[in-house]
Structure 1
Amino acid sequence: MKTMIAISLAGAFGAYCRYLCSMWLGKITFKSLPLAILLINWSGSLAFGMVAGISAKYEIVVSKALTVGFLGAFTTFSTFSLEAVQLLTKKQYGVAIIYIILSIAGSIALFSAAYFGIKQS
């Protein structure tokens, strides 16, 4: 039960932090590309990779509150999906494709760099 409460509280805090970051970064665009959620997903993937790498390297159990709760709520592919569909409905196909590729490839690359960089160091 304690784990469920910790995940819930951390998730609420992660969602709140995502909201604040998206408001702070929301005005930053590059050729209609919605950078706020892209940067949030990238930074969350990097942080998750770091946590997973540290956990694997030092054989420690990472709190589910941090990974499932905070980082799970902080990153959001549901908002990414909404923004991608909005770009497509506005017929901004080039920007939509760039956004989709950057979001997916960037998140995987940053997670991998952090995870393997820490685990192998």
Structure 2
Amino acid sequence: MADEINSQAQDIAMAIIANSGDGRSKAFEALTKAQNGDFEEAKKLIKESSDAIGQAHDVQTQMLVDEANGKKTEFSILTIHAQDHFMTSLLANDLIKQMIKMQEEINELKGEK
């Protein structure tokens, strides 16, 4: 039983890490596209980033709901690491969205589109 609980906790943590990592990578790809003036692709990538981070958020939310309903999740350094990945990816996504807008404004001011 303990191995089953531990395995479930690892699966949850890995789902958060994988989705968060994908989201963070897509966000930085979007920033590079924006810096190169490809705003259409940047917006597509930032949407993909938001979607991946949203999937990580869904897993995290389920953990919170489970705990609120009395089902305890076994925490480990892997779970903490997963939460760290999620929060940094969420922050990167939010900041890069603003950076893309700023880059669009810079390009517009410079007469570039």
Name the TM-score class by shorter chain: 0.3 to 0.5
Greater helix fraction, Structure 1 or Structure 2: 2
